[in-house]
A = this chain, B = another copy of it.
Amino acid sequence: MKNESERKESLSIVIEQINNLLEKHKIVETLVEKQDAPKQKIIKNLVNKQNINKLERLLANLHPADIADILESLPIEGRLIVWDLVKVENDGDILVEVSDVVRQTLIADMDSTELLAAAEYLDTDEIADIAQDLPEDVLQNLLESLDVQNRERLESALSYPESTVGALMDYDVVTIRDNVNLEVVLNYLRKLGKLPSNTDKLFVVNSNGIILGILPLKAIVVSDQMAKVKDVMSSDPVLFGPDDLAEEASDAFERYDLITAPVVDKKNKLIGRLSVDAVVDFIKEDAENEKLSMAGLREEEDLFSSIWKSVKNRWAWLAINLVTAIVASRVIGVFEGSIEKVVALAALMPIVAGIGGNSGNQTTTMIVRGLALGQVNLTNIQRLIYKELGVALLNGILWGSVLGTFAFILYENIYLGLVMTGAMILNLLLSAVMGVMIPLLLSKFGRDPAVGSSILITAMTDSGGFFIFLGLATLVLL
């Protein structure tokens, strides 16, 4: 038996070996390219064959999820060499595991026959997960190859938006009736011989498929075999609809420690199940995506994707920043006369703007968190603003005094020091109000406050900071 850290270690050894083998492969290739002699070609074939065999053996022993990791860490050429060596029965699982961008590079390397062969090893809900990256004709072929029930399931799975329960659910439900006893259930399960992964409960339905309750495996094994299902089942399970938000479902999974839960339509008819592994995947992906969008990356980026693709992914954010920077620049432009007279202002103004931005982002992070946890609502906004104003005032007096003293010592001008202190206090107060209001307004207008808040706060505290500092200086010093 291996424990998790041993597994990780052996995995990194495998990655190193693969990199070495790929390196050798490349050296042989370039050698042959340089000296195009027939003898070299024979050596190439020999050496490469050896390497390829070694690679193939290494890969054969790995879990699909581990191969997916390796593929993601390889540059595109190495990735495709390794991908060609993976057994066809693992292709489907790996396509499900890799990130969207890496999947696209792998699928681009496969023809229709290979793709259809890979899809044969997948469940309907897994096909739905990779469907967006499949070529139109392959998807069409796939749909035609399925039976009526699975085709309907695939079509409906494809119709749900990405972050809903419908997109995360699977169809691995085992249903039973409520009027039989547990012995009958056990006989039925033995006949089935195998239960879907994560099965912790059976779903109890009536003849119309309406859910009546759930029967945990735990209850089956501890109860008397003569007991009726309806007397052992729990008749008040947590239910989800396919249109429920995945985020709310994941909260419920965390709150009630769920493993699987029934997904039902509006009439409580069972249509699938949501299981904890899909929820965990969602939570991790959601946290990752939020980090990406906070830095203005529109989508996940393959580390080895082309420069051009990366520029396209990142340009929008830089463009928005450019606009806010130009606005701030024009605010400074208004005060060029003052700066010409007291050039120290130019050196001091970025400090005021910068600290304001950081302080505002701290406030926003608190509020965004409170919004996500449902702790911020109409009844306590006023209170929160007062608190943040208090924090800002204290910070303003503290850091404003430090900076005022700094400015006074450096430029030997007491008024400059006072302007600095005053501007710091005012800009921090501005950042506190904005830090509370901006995420609230974004959320009120249905936008994700975690994504847009930071850039708006910084825009406000930059332009605001320059205006407050230079305006105050113009009034006091000139």
Residues of B within 8 A of A211 (CB): 1
Whether A116 sits at the interface, judged by CB under 8 Å, is: no
Whether A24 sits at the interface, judged by CB under 8 Å, is: no
Do the beta carbons of A355 and B4 come within 8 Å of each other?
Answer: no
> What residue in chain B is nearest A22 (Cβ atoms)?
B379
Q: How far is the CB of A292 from chain B (nearest CB, A)?
A: 6
A12 and B374 CA atoms in complex are apart in Å by 9
A325 and B357 CA atoms in complex are apart in Å by 12
Whether A239 sits at the interface, judged by CB under 8 Å, is: yes
Whether A180 sits at the interface, judged by CB under 8 Å, is: no
**Interface of chain A, helix or strand or loop or mixed?**
helix
Do the beta carbons of B295 and A65 come within 8 Å of each other?
Answer: no
Type the 1/0 row for A223-252, where 1 means its CB is closer than 8 Å to any CB of B: 110000000000111111100100011001
Whether A148 sits at the interface, judged by CB under 8 Å, is: no
Interchain CB contact (< 8 A) of A264 among B3, B8, B257, B406: B3
Type the 1/0 row for A426-440, where 1 means its CB is closer than 8 Å to any CB of B: 000000000000000
Residues of B within 8 A of A135 (CB): none
Residues of B within 8 A of A19 (CB): 379
Do the beta carbons of B257 and A197 come within 8 Å of each other?
Answer: yes
Do the beta carbons of A377 and B73 come within 8 Å of each other?
Answer: yes
> What residue in chain B is nearest A240 (Cβ atoms)?
B4
Whether A167 sits at the interface, judged by CB under 8 Å, is: no
A222 touching B249 in the complex, CB below 8 Å, given contacts A259-B259, A347-B332, A350-B353: no
A308 and B394 CA atoms in complex are apart in Å by 8
A348 touching B362 in the complex, CB below 8 Å, given contacts A73-B375, A322-B399: no
Whether A199 sits at the interface, judged by CB under 8 Å, is: yes
A19 and B287 CA atoms in complex are apart in Å by 32
Type the 1/0 row for A458-473, where 1 means its CB is closer than 8 Å to any CB of B: 0000100010000000
Interchain CB contact (< 8 A) of A295 among B264, B292, B362: B362
Whether A310 sits at the interface, judged by CB under 8 Å, is: yes
Whether A175 sits at the interface, judged by CB under 8 Å, is: no
The 12 sampled A-B contact pairs (Cβ below 8 Å) are A2-B236, A4-B238, A4-B239, A4-B244, A75-B380, A189-B222, A197-B257, A198-B257, A198-B259, A283-B284, A307-B390, A321-B358
